[in-house]
Amino acid sequence: MTLALTAARLPSTGPTSGLAQTLVVLASLGTAADPLWGAAARALPADVRVVAIDLPGHGRSRSPWEAPGAATTVAELADAVLEAIDSTLDVERFAVAGDSIGGAIALQLALDYPERITRAGVLCSGAQLGDPGAWEERAELVESAGTPTQIIGSAQRWFAPGFIASHPETTAALLHSLQNADRFAYAALCRALAEFDLRGRLDDVAVPVLAVAGAQDQPAPPENLSLIADGVQDGTFVELPDVAHLAPAEAPTRVAQLLCRFVLDGDARAGEPTGGGAESGAATAIPLAGAPAAPDRSGGQGGDPDGAPDAGGQPVRTSAGLANLTREQVREEGMRVRREVLSDAHVERAEAAADDFTRDFQDLISRYAWGEIWTRPGLDRRMRSAVTLTAMVAGSHHDELAMHVRAALRNGLTRDEIKEILLQCAIYCSVPSANTAFAIASRVLAEGDAHEGQGSQPGPADPPRPASEAGPHRG
C-alpha cells in the first residue's frame, strides 16, 4: 500500500536571517500541520522555507485505508515523508522537526537517511511511546466509533493547565483537526506507535538531534526526551516550562528560537553554555537567552510572540502585528508580503503604473493593508484569503476578486476550498453574486491551467490581466 502524503508551504514571516534552509515539519497524532505549526512557522525567518507534511488521513493528506485493521509503521511513514519531499521539492538535504508521532518520524528519518537529514528536532515524543496494548485498544475504539471519542482525553493531554482558556482559537482549531481526522488512518497510526521502539538504536543516530520536552507533558514526559538526547551521538535536551504535549502550538516563539539556534543554524551552539558542565558527548541543555520566563500566554492566537524586542533593536512581531518599525520599515514589510501574496509581477505592474495622482494611494495600500493587516499573526494567510474572497463577493468587487482568487491559490487554498467559500457566499451574500464570482474564479483557474500546461512552475507570477484589472490602484 502506498502512503501518499501531502506537503504544503507554511508562511514564515520573521526578519530575514541568511539561513535560507528548508525545514520540514511533521504533526502529531490527531492534528493537522497548519494549526499545530502555523504560529511557530510565522515566527521563523522569512528566508527559511517551511514545508508541512500532514499524516495520512489528517489535514490535506488522504487516507489509503477504508476498513478496520489498518496498520503501518513509523519506518513506512518516514519513507512516505521522503517521497513527498522528493515529489514536490528540489532539495537534497533538509532539516526536519516533528511533534509526538511526528517526532518519532523525524528520529526515524535521522536514523535511516543521515545523508538527507541535516539536523532533527524531536518534540514531545520519545524513542518509544506508551503501552502497545493501550494503543491497540485505542485503535479499535476509534475504528468503531470515530475520532470524536478522543476529543475530551486529547484536550486533557495536549495542553498545559490554563492554555485552553487563554487560547480558545488555537485549541479549537487543533481539536477540530482531530475530529476531522480519518478514523481508519488514526487507528493505523496508533498501531505504528504500538510497535515503535528505537531505544536500542539511538547510538546509531549520527545526525545532530534537538530533543524538546514539555514539563507538563504526560504522554511524553521529559525523561523520554532526555533519553534521546543522551542516547544519540550528538544530542541536545531542552525542557520548556508550562508546556504539555503540543509545544509548537503552546510555545511557538520559543520553539522557533530553538529551531533557529539548533536545527537550522549549523553553528548555533558555538560558544553556548552547556547547562551544568555536561560531559563531552553527553546531552547539552541550551538556555533560551532573551526568551521570556513566562509561557506564551499573553494575547494573540497560538501564544504568538511575546513582544520583547530582539537583539539590536530589529523589528519584532507581536500578537498585534509588527512593533518597533519606522514608517518606511512598515512599508518595506508590507511590500514583501504584498509580493509574496500577489506575485512580484503584479506588484511591479502596479508600481510602474503609479503616477503623481495615484502614488500616495499605492503607498497607503503597502503600509496599511499589507504592512499593518496582512502581517498580523492572528490569522494565517489561508484564512485571510478566505475572508478577503468573501468580502470581494459581498461588495461586488469583481476585478479585485479575480486578483484575490490568484492570491488565494498562492496562499495555499485549494480549488475545492475556493469552491466551498463561493458556495457559502451564495447563501450569505446572494446567489447572483456567487454566480458572478464562480464565473470570475473559473476564468482565473482556467488561466492557471493554461500556464501550467506551458510548463510554469508552482507559484508563478500571475498571468496578464484583462484591461479591467489593469488599473494602477489594484492591490
| Closest among 194, 170, 267, 281 to 232, alpha carbons compared | 281
The β-bridge partners of 322 are 317
Length of the chain: 475
pLDDT given at position 243: 97
Contact 7, 52 (CB under 8 A): yes
* DSSP per-residue codes, 355-375: -TTTHHHHHHIIIIIIIIITT
Checking DSSP bridges between strand 117-123 and strand 94-99, what pairing results, if any?
parallel
Question: What is the rounded CA–CA span in Å between residue 336 and residue 334?
Answer: 5
Which tens digits make up the pLDDT trace of 341-379?
A: 888 888 888 888 888 898 888 888 888 888 888 877 678
pLDDT given at position 122: 98
Question: What is the rounded CA–CA span in Å between residue 263 and residue 260?
Answer: 6
Cβ count within 10 A of residue 120: 30
The β-bridge partners of 120 are 96, 209
Question: What is the rounded CA–CA span in Å between residue 216 and residue 222?
Answer: 8
Q: How far apart are the first and last CA of the chain?
A: 46
Contact 205, 118 (CB under 8 A): no
Q: Judge if pTM exceeds 0.85.
A: no
What single-letter DSSP state applies at residue 45? B
Question: What is the rounded CA–CA span in Å between residue 262 and residue 122?
Answer: 12
pLDDT in tens, the chain (475 residues): 678 999 999 999 888 877 778 999 999 999 999 999 999 999 999 889 999 999 999 999 999 999 999 999 999 999 999 999 999 888 999 999 999 999 999 999 999 999 999 999 999 999 999 999 999 999 999 999 999 999 999 999 999 999 999 999 999 999 999 999 999 999 999 999 999 999 999 999 999 999 999 999 999 999 999 999 999 999 999 999 999 999 999 999 999 999 998 877 643 332 232 232 222 233 333 333 233 322 232 233 333 333 222 323 333 333 334 444 567 777 788 888 888 888 888 888 888 888 889 888 888 888 888 888 887 767 888 999 999 999 999 999 988 999 999 999 988 899 999 999 999 999 999 999 999 999 999 999 998 776 555 544 433 334 444 433 334 444 5
pLDDT given at position 287: 33
Cβ count within 10 A of residue 246: 30
| Closest among 99, 83, 25, 44 to 254, alpha carbons compared | 44
Q: Which three cell numbers stand for residue 298?
A: 499573553
